[in-house]
Amino acid sequence: MSALAVVFALVVSAPTQSPPQPVTPPKAPSSAPARKAPKAPPRPVTSLDVTVTDSAGKPVEGAFVMALPTQGAYRPYGGIAPEKVRSTLTGREGKAKLESLPPGPWNVTVHARGFVTQPLRRVASGPLAVRLEKGGVITGVVRDGDGNRPVAGARVAVDGGLPLSSGWSQDATRNETATGAQGRFRLEGIGPTAVTIAARAPGFGRAERKDVRAGASVELFLFPGASLAGVVRDDAGRPVEGALVRTEGDQSWGAPPPERCDARGEFRMAGVQPGEYTVMARESGRAPGIATVVVEPEVEAKASLTVSDGGYATGRIVGAGGRPLAGRVRVEVFDERGLPTFAGDLLAADAKADGTFALGPLPLGSFGVAVSAPRHASRRVEVEIPARGRTADLGDVALEAGLSTSCWSRAARSPGGSWTPMALRSRRRRSRRRTRASREVPAGSSAGGPKKATDGSSSGT
């Protein structure tokens, strides 16, 4: 009994054990969320639809619409790069479409005769709805400074205007009117900022009035001055109606606006400053006519120009090892004379990705052509177009890697050395300083009446 009691006591005193718990298997790590496929980048915008209306909501036909990229639109040495500009005119419904745009965003400008110019900044996409306002009015009269008689048929314009790439097409952007029989004029579409008003007439110099605001009435006085007239013909000697003529001289800031030829192929530019001018005529894709004219004070200079089928210059731009380069070719010298920027812009072409280019049509003569490509030093090559329909093949034009430069020396092929673009700009700067000095008003001039400068220009009172 005692033994059984001992065993029982041991069993009772032993700690009570809980029943075994079921083993929970470890949780499998949660799977990572599936990554979403990256969105395809949006397609670049290459066109803009624009609708132009007036303040009443009516469509404006013939409005000029221009787009410039916010970056890369201007050359390092000044002026707009023509290849970056896109422009068009609105149709009957006030609609226009800008296509093949360079990468944006863009600054868009809309202008129409009689309306205030409307700028739109950093436009990234379309469509655009542009409403133009009528703006204010400037009125006045143009008089003969010597006899105080009204001058009929004088052209009065808001000086300056939109910055165009070449300055050729000013018909749609120039705010201009003509004086009536009593010499009176009316300019509409004047915005809130002050403008400069300029007047020209055959046989007179140029007159201007600065800081004119909407609502003002001004008088402009014209004094005898120089003009430039001429005729444009084709290869057969026939007059070319509608040819557009432009000129520029040492004083590019005072160059007259472009003129169109009449049915007889004739043109006339009034209010031209004395000096030496390059005159160029262009028409329907033919090679332009180019001439050099010297304008004397109070004399009408004459120019004769011929537009023709011309010829072409072809070739290929290559780099090290003959690798093709996309680039640009541009005429800068014609018959050993440097050309103004507007002329060089017209006689230019792009080289494709394979380096090939076709420059033309070019008029007959010899040319200095600048060849350039990004990250390569530019080079000038000589081109000769001896006859109509001829093509000058330049072959491979090799460029060296490095910084480009336009500071060329005199051309070796000219006996006296032809002036290069840098030297021409230096000569023009010196000429401008001399011209400004000559335009000082004589000490005996009246402070209250019209002031006549030595070159025929004047300012109103």
- Does 416 lie in the same domain as 319? yes
Domain span at residue 232? Answer: 228-306
What span, in angstroms and rounded, lies between the C-alpha atoms of 310 and 427?
Answer: 31
Read off the pLDDT of residues 90-122 as tens digits, 9 standing for 90 and up: 999 999 999 988 888 999 999 998 899 999 999
What span, in angstroms and rounded, lies between the C-alpha atoms of 440 and 454?
Answer: 8
- Does 417 lie in the same domain as 324? yes
Single pTM value for the model: 0.71
Contact yes or no for 293/308 (Cβ under 8 A): no
Q: Which of 85, 109, 131 is where one domain is finished?
A: 131
Asked if residue 281 is part of any domain, the answer here is: yes
Is residue 78 scored above 70 in pLDDT?
Answer: no
Provide the mean pLDDT of the chain.
81
What does the pLDDT average to over 180-205?
94
Higher pLDDT, 389 or 405: 389
Closest CA to 427 of 228, 248, 251: 251
Higher pLDDT, 154 or 84: 154
- Does 112 lie in the same domain as 73? yes
Per-residue pLDDT band at 83 (split at 50, 70, 90)? confident
Asked if residue 448 is part of any domain, the answer here is: no
Is residue 67 scored above 50 in pLDDT?
Answer: yes
- Does 145 lie in the same domain as 115? no
What does the pLDDT average to over 300-325?
94
Higher pLDDT, 268 or 344: 268
Beta strands 106-111 and 337-338: pairing type? unpaired
What span, in angstroms and rounded, lies between the C-alpha atoms of 372 and 366?
Answer: 19
CATH number at residue 118: 2.60.40.1120
Asked if residue 14 is part of any domain, the answer here is: no
- Does 200 lie in the same domain as 123? no
First to last CA, the chain: 146
The greatest distance separating any two alpha carbons of the chain, rounded to the nearest whole angstrom, comes to: 160
What does the pLDDT average to over 329-342?
90
Asked if residue 205 is part of any domain, the answer here is: yes
What does the pLDDT average to over 380-399?
92
- Look at residue 334 in the predicted model and tell me its pLDDT: 93
- Look at residue 291 in the predicted model and tell me its pLDDT: 94
Amino acid at 149: R
Contact yes or no for 163/239 (Cβ under 8 A): no
- Does 158 lie in the same domain as 181? yes
Amino acid at 406: S
- Does 116 lie in the same domain as 67? yes
Total domains, the chain: 4
CA triplet 82, 86, 89: central angle to 5 degrees? 125
Q: Which of 131, 162, 192 is where one domain is finished?
A: 131
Reading the block at residue 440, the tokens are: 């000082």
Contact yes or no for 255/249 (Cβ under 8 A): yes
- Does 391 lie in the same domain as 416? yes
What span, in angstroms and rounded, lies between the C-alpha atoms of 126 and 420?
Answer: 44
What does the pLDDT average to over 79-92?
83
CA 437 and chain centroid, separation: 30
- Does 399 lie in the same domain as 302? no
- Does 285 lie in the same domain as 371? no
What span, in angstroms and rounded, lies between the C-alpha atoms of 159 and 175?
Answer: 8
DSSP 308-339: B--EEEEEEEE-GGG-B--EEEEEEEETTEEP
- Look at residue 285 in the predicted model and tell me its pLDDT: 82
- Look at residue 365 in the predicted model and tell me its pLDDT: 92
Backbone angles phi, psi at 331, to 5 degrees: -75, 130
